[in-house]
Amino acid sequence: MQKICIIGLGYIGLPTAAVFARAGYDVVGVDVNEKVIELLNKGEIIIEENGLPEVVKEAVESGKLRASLEPEAADAFIIAVPTPVHADHTANVDYVVSAVEKIVPHVKKGDVVIVESTIPPRTIDDVVAPIFKEAGFDPEKDIYLAHCPERVLPGRILIELVENARIVGGLTPEAAEKAADVYRRVVTGDILVTEAVTAEMSKLMENTFRDVNIALANELAKICGVLGVDAHKVIELANRHPRVNLHQPGPGVGGHCLAVDPYFIVEKAPAEAQIIKMSRDINNSMPDYVVDQIVRMTSDIERPAVALFGLTYKGNIDDVRESPAIEIVEKMIENPRFDVRVHDPHVRDEQVSFPLASFEEAVTGAHLIVVLADHNEFKELDQETLAAKMDRPVIFDTKNCTGLQSGSGLTVHKIGDLRRLS
């Protein structure tokens, strides 16, 4: 096996292409975005990810990685396209279907076809395999069809693509082994072979586990707000128990995984997935909760200037997909009472539909700063600088990340400790 065709050059597909090229495969990456293709063929990228620019540049210069708008014949095909949800929270697998249909004319008997996109249970069996069958293939004998979900953390993708264990689920046992062989050349972690539906469900439950636990922490924060208790201290003490690991509350859950994947389970078993659905509802309620607290904190000011710090769903990345911070910004902008300034050093103007401000523009004359992402830049905010530049130095830290404390002219509220507002 020498050549791999990867469909989708986003936050997962591009690093995956770079890692396989670095391992010696001939890799052609396919995307519908002409700008992405043009830049990649120059050895350049638009994604912010540690170490990725250097690996991509080296792979392109070596001739092992190139980009194209159309698929090509290869020995293995990897599909890494988005799987968003519809307005009713049902899975939208249109991108996966489109990617499969595009590669069908280039697939030959004996090829390996791997879907890395996160998909609802039975998508390989009930959606992908029938496309190949309709094209004249026997999906259980002519090709090796498998699901190998990505399970990496933004900011550490290049490391975790190699070191993390990979789950490989095949339509048949033979397909699982053939797909596993593709990864064995690059992955140092364990290769865990299973059937496709189990791999699909395992990936969904990894993210659902975290979503449910974050919902528990967010509900705790709301309860502590009513009772006048510091939820952060409660979590710290409870986690001293050897079998307790409460997560941290925040402004909501974002990203293309945690905020989406649980719905794929709910869709398939709505009557049974009660806790999963309720957790989604709790986490989805947090942007409104944050806005309500902002209103409370500025109730005595006629036109408060509010600086919203951070748009990404987690710190030190540029990914704003499903970010609760975006929802909070939009809700604030809709309210004419507020003078809203938005600042994020990791986000580009073309990524959002509203203007971005520099640090100076956002802070100067502000009555309130709301920290919505745990970027390193926000962890290093200087108390004296904020106190000097703001009109009324109040900080609302929804990520509990700044380390700022009330005093020296500054008032600090945290998402799980709103006792000063009581």
Q: Name the residue among 303, 340, 305 with its Cα closest to residue 325.
A: 340
The residue annotated as part of the active site, out of 203, 222, 399, 414, is 203
Active site residue 257: yes
Residue 174 · residue 123 · CB < 8 Å:
no
Gyration radius of the chain's alpha carbons = 23
Cα-Cα-Cα-Cα dihedral sign, residues 205, 20, 159, 253: negative
**Distance (Å, whole) CA 101 – CA 247:** 41
Cα-Cα-Cα-Cα dihedral sign, residues 59, 62, 65, 69: positive
- What are residue 27's DSSP bridge partners? 4, 65
Active site residue 401: no
3-state secondary structure of 192: strand
Angle at 168 between CA 167 and CA 174, to 5 degrees: 150
The residue annotated as part of the active site, out of 178, 257, 314, 401, is 257
**Distance (Å, whole) CA 260 – CA 212:** 13
Instruction: Point out the residues that are catalytic.
Output: 203, 257
